Chains A and B, each alone.
Chain A
Amino acid sequence: MVNAPLALLAELTHRCPLRCPYCSNPVELSRASAELATAEWARVFREAADLGCLQVHLSGGEPTARRDIVEIVAAAHEAGLYTNLITAGVLLDAALMQRLVAAGLDHVQLSVQDAEEAGAERIGGMKGAHARKADAARLVREAGLPLTLNAVVHRQNLHNLPALIALALEWGAGRIEVAHVQYYGWALANRAALLPTRAQLDEATRIVEAARAAHRGRLVLDYVVPDYHAARPKACMGGWGSRFLAVSPAGRVLPCHAAESIAGMVFPNVREVSLHEAWYRGEAFERFRGTAWMPPPCRGCANAEKDWGGCRCQAFALTGEAANTDPACVLSPHHGLLAAAVAEAGQAEFRYRGVA
């Protein structure tokens, strides 16, 4: 039996004033002229709610780079979805915040690149961004909305993890997501500069656990660990085509936001089919749904319905074959690739988009 999806990731645009070296947007970006129109998004939201989605993550790129972001929030709200804005915050001002709240926005997730200005601006590649983020956090809190701080952590900012947690408290966030970089797309190109050492990872885990206890009831800490030091992969998306779907700026319906990185796959488009059709009958969703597609060692493994063989995008990025067992698993014949990458890491310079 195929489950109904729980959440929709709406990637409204690939445009963004920042250029984080770990950005999970595809290396090949959609142009603004190809983006879905307001009315098309409104239809996508209604179809998502009818399918069983409860929540929509309005993301990008930078979702507020769209001039119709208020109309889009209103449409998602009217469809009955819990609305979450995932933003870098640099384009928010008081007037926009007010209109977003009036449109029915439920929650804001604000990204920070580092705890201190110099580091944050080097990583995000935009001058003045950090101060604007502080303003954005204040506007969200003044509007009475709950705030999550999203801190993507890696080799070059992990030393500031305690300061990032302090920043979440200072900015009034009720939740912080400490997420180690996931390596596909642009992040893979920067892996040598981003991968933490084992010691850094262990220290980070210790800090997160201590902070969880210290701020219990005041700050929720969610922690996404990198699989490069793991023995078992993550249950990516809770299983391909099982709980989650994404719609790209140009309308492609994806089982995971990085799925377009898998060469040779064709995804249904909301301009041609309904979400229902895409979810229940799209070949791309069928391809890795359940366990029947699995080759060994996943086939017949006791964990097959727990981790679903890990991440298809990571399997493709590292082994060239999306159906392979995620190399994060010790049982994968490619598991050694991860240790090799960790051993090689340590480069200082980032590669930015648009810079040769």
Chain B
Amino acid sequence: MIPRFPRGVRLQEDKARGRWIVMAPERMFVPDDTALEVLRLVDGARDVGAIVDALAAKFDAPRAEIEADVAAMLDDLVAKGALAW
């Protein structure tokens, strides 16, 4: 499964407040640091496995643990309309 930003949703820098946000139709989400790491890897090409691999390498953490976190996070972001499959 490959997550992507649906049309009308984008990750963008909020310079005035020194943070990154997800802009979506009439709402915005402020991702926490972990969510931001995941969202930065969403490029419409990487599937969930590739995202988990990249995070496991970057944080030198056990893959299984990351996999569960990423799955829960993606599910939540899809429900909010911030991501789509």
Contacts and interface: CB of A to CB of B under 8 A. Distances in A.
Interface string B1-26: 00000111110101011000101011
B81 interface: yes
B42 to A, nearest CB: 16
Contact of B8 (A51, A107, A177): A107
Contacts of A216: 79
Contacts of B8: 106-107, 145-146
Contact of B6 (A55, A84, A174): A174
Interface in B13-70: 14, 16-17, 21, 23, 25-26, 28
A144 B17 CA distance: 31
A148 interface: yes
Contacts of B78: 217
Query: Quick one: which of A51, A54, A177 has the most chain B CB within 10 A?
Result: A54
B21 A145 contact: no
B11 to A, nearest CB: 12
Interface in A101-155: 106-107, 109, 144-146, 148
B6 A6 contact: no
B17 A148 contact: no
A108 to B, nearest CB: 9
B14 A54 contact: yes
A217 B78 CA distance: 6
Nearest to B82: A220
B26 A148 contact: yes
Contacts of A55: 23, 26, 28
Given A144-B7, A146-B6, A174-B6, A51 B16 contact: yes
A145 B7 contact: yes
A148 B79 contact: no
A321 to B, nearest CB: 32
A246 to B, nearest CB: 15
A106 B27 CA distance: 12
Interface string A70-98: 00000000000010100000000000000
A318 interface: no
B20 to A, nearest CB: 11
A335 interface: no
Contacts of B12: 54, 82
B18 to A, nearest CB: 11
Interface of B: 6-10, 12, 14, 16-17, 21, 23, 25-26, 28, 78-81
